[in-house]
Amino acid sequence: MADHKNQQFLLRLRFALAGLGHAVRTESSVKIQVGAFILVILALAVLRPTPVWWALVLLASSGVIAAELLNTAVEHLADHLHPEVHPSIRVVKDCAAAAVLIAVLGAVAVGIALAVYLIKK
């Protein structure tokens, strides 16, 4: 297998976009998160908060998608290496899913803070 390290930036970008595309096509949770991200961008465009709120919301939202992609990668790798149900593999997969949950809760907290800010404004 070819070494993907130290490749040109555009080639590495192509690998990353291929991974994102695969996850969007095959994982319903990634589709949901990307759909939510699009809705968030539309809401920001309508609400027009200050740039710092744009940054906070987009950072939180992209963190959720990144966590979801890592969860997908962990699940695929774990299933490939150990297709049978195993308690240790279950813990790994559950922890990866918990990372997504924590990222989502953080993003929701940012959304609530933005709503409070906009209401008080």
- The CA distance from 121 to 68, in Å, is 33
Residue 3 lies in a domain: no
Place of tokens 């993907």: 4
Q: What percent of the chain has pLDDT over 70?
A: 97
Tokens coding 67: 């966590």
Read off the pLDDT of residues 30-73 as tens digits, 9 standing for 90 and up.
999 999 999 999 999 999 999 999 999 999 999 999 999 999 99
Task: Indicate the number of domains in the chain.
Answer: 1
Q: What are phi and psi of 8, to 5 degrees?
A: -65, 150
The CATH number linked to 31 is 1.10.287.3610
For the annotated catalytic residues, the residue numbers are 68
Residue 45 lies in a domain: yes
Tokens coding 51: 């740039």
Residue 59 lies in a domain: yes
Residue 56 lies in a domain: yes
Closest of 31, 36, 29, 72 to residue 57, by C-alpha? 36
Average pLDDT, the chain: 93
14: domain range? 9-120
Residue 32 lies in a domain: yes
Residue 104 lies in a domain: yes
